[in-house]
Amino acid sequence: MIYINAPIGVGKSTLTKYLSGSLGTHAFYESVEDMPMLKEFYSNGDKSRSNLSFELQIAFLNYRFAQLRQGLYLQEHDGEVNTVYDSSLLSDGIMCGNLYKRGEMSGVLYYLYDEFTFVD
């Protein structure tokens, strides 16, 4: 499994496409259209960001887990050796830390997420 971790808009999807094409393997992309919680998170400015930060991180965790299950299924059943992901739990953990540092997530919820994901 290959994970691409970088800030928004720097070319993760392009690199994912290039690598998966070169390796002849499946690519997994982060689709914001598949994340209804993201729209809610940004719907009411600071208030919705503070109220939904933990829920958003759990939604991303669920999304990544589903992608991981798909990738493992492809490896097991279709014989794919590699899969390429344009994001990962590491990037989600960084985002969670940023939400906490900006005061958009409480310390209790931040540490709960951190313990749950084992992401530092």
Question: Strand pairing partners for 28?
Answer: 85
Q: Which pLDDT value is given to residue 90?
A: 85
The CATH number of whichever domain residue 49 belongs to comes to 3.40.50.300
pLDDT of residue 35: 84
> Does the pLDDT of residue 119 top 70, yes or no?
no
**What SS3 class is residue 63?**
helix
Question: Is 120 considered catalytic here?
Answer: no
Per-position b or e across 63-96, b if 16+ CB within 10 A of its CB: bbeebbeebeebbeeeebeebbbbbbbebbbebb
Both tokens of 56, joined, read 């958003």
Please state the domain count of the chain.
Answer: 1
Q: Which domain holds residue 95?
A: 2-117
* pLDDT in the model for residue 96: 93
Say which of 46, 78, 86, 114 is annotated catalytic.
86
Residues ≥6 apart with Cβ < 8 Å to 29? 13, 16, 86
Q: Could you give the count of Cα atoms lying within 13 Å of 109 in the half-sphere of its Cβ?
A: 19
**pLDDT at residue 104, as a whole number:** 95
**In terms of pTM, does the model score above 0.85?**
no
Tell me, what DSSP letter sits at residue 80?
A: -
Q: pLDDT (tens digit, 9 = 90+) per residue, 90-102?
A: 888 889 999 999 9
Span 18-76, pLDDT tens digits: 999 999 889 999 887 878 888 999 999 999 999 999 999 999 999 988 998 998 888 88
